Structure 1
């Protein structure tokens, strides 16, 4: 394997890329810094020029994941305009698309045990992603009288949880689990049922 990054001034990113491959293959606790260094083509000592330890390296992978995730969510939201419903549903589908396309980032973000409050930068990136979904939820609820309107933060959190559940159970090849329906169909129908129950979508839609 060629040495990635050290002789080209990009060792930090080379180590993140190596960690993402190892996270996907072995899980967030299944590799060592020495393995990440070897994967990147550098000595273990070189890692400590950029990261204090494995958790610091995983946190950087999570940060980059949240930045990609936020951009993807925002693009989905914008592409669904001007329909508030289309924009909201698009952000749910974007969750599935992200988990499929960026499994290493997804695991670092949601399965590594790294707190989003580990650094201000990580917290800001995570909150930005949540903010996109909450904005889409707020747009969708505008036609409901204010005194009957559910908090956007509440039902956006419910949709986030639903999306996460579909990903974990059916979109990431969970051992022993299979669904007769595509994950996208499961999520779309679940969102539809939920939104109708809240009165956010007309019953005949």
Structure 2
């Protein structure tokens, strides 16, 4: 295998790319740094020039994933107009799309046990992604008197949990689970029921 890291001048990214492939194949705890080095075409000693250990490497995968994820969520929200509801639902579809297209990043972010507070940079970009749903919840609640509005952090956390559940059970091919409906339809109908229950959208929306 050619030493991709040395040849293209970006060994750090070559190791991240190798780790993402291994995470997708074996999970975040199913590979070693030596395997990542071999996948990248370098010696194990070369890894330590850039990463202190496997968790440090996975954290970098997670940070890059959150960058992609935050950009995707922001784009989905901005292009979901003309209605606030459409924008909200677009972020849910973006969540599913991200999990499908970037499984290595997704696992690094949500299933590796790496804290988003591991580094200031990781915490910042993760917060940027969370803020999109909070903004969407805030916009939907504008018509409700302020003292009666549900907390935007609560609403966004519930939608996040619902999105994550649909991804884990139905969008990523979990063994033994098969939905009679497309994951996008499941999530959209669930969001609609939840938001109507809170009074954030009228029954006929």
Do these two structures clear the TM 0.5 threshold for a shared fold by scoring above it? yes
Partner Cα separation in structure 1 for residue 88 and residue 4 of structure 2: 40
Partner Cα separation in structure 1 for residue 3 and residue 192 of structure 2: 49
Partner Cα separation in structure 1 for residue 95 and residue 127 of structure 2: 15
Unaligned ranges ≥5, structure 1? none
Shift of 1:159: 0.2
Shift of 1:204: 1.6
Partner of residue 105, structure 2: 105
Partner of residue 184, structure 1: 184
Shift of 1:9: 1.6
Unaligned ranges ≥5, structure 2? none
Partner Cα separation in structure 2 for residue 113 and residue 95 of structure 1: 19
TM-score, normalised on structure 2? 0.98
Shift of 1:142: 0.5
- The count of residues paired between Structure 1 and Structure 2 equals 205
1:113-128 alignment, distance < 5 Å: 113-128=113-128
Partner Cα separation in structure 1 for residue 147 and residue 114 of structure 2: 38
- Large movers: runs of 4+ above 4 Å: none
Partner of residue 95, structure 2: 95
TM-score, normalised on structure 1? 0.98
Partner Cα separation in structure 1 for residue 179 and residue 2 of structure 2: 41
Alpha-carbon RMSD across the aligned residues, in angstroms, is: 0.8
| Deviation string, structure 1 residues 122-162 (Cα, Å, up to 9, x no partner) | 11111110001111111111111112111111101100000
| Deviation string, structure 1 residues 106-130 (Cα, Å, up to 9, x no partner) | 0000000001110010111111100
Shift of 1:7: 2.5
Which segment is superposed worse, 74-83 or 179-188? Answer: 74-83
Partner of residue 150, structure 2: 150
Which secondary structure state, in structure 1, belongs to the residue aligned with residue 181 of structure 2?
Answer: coil
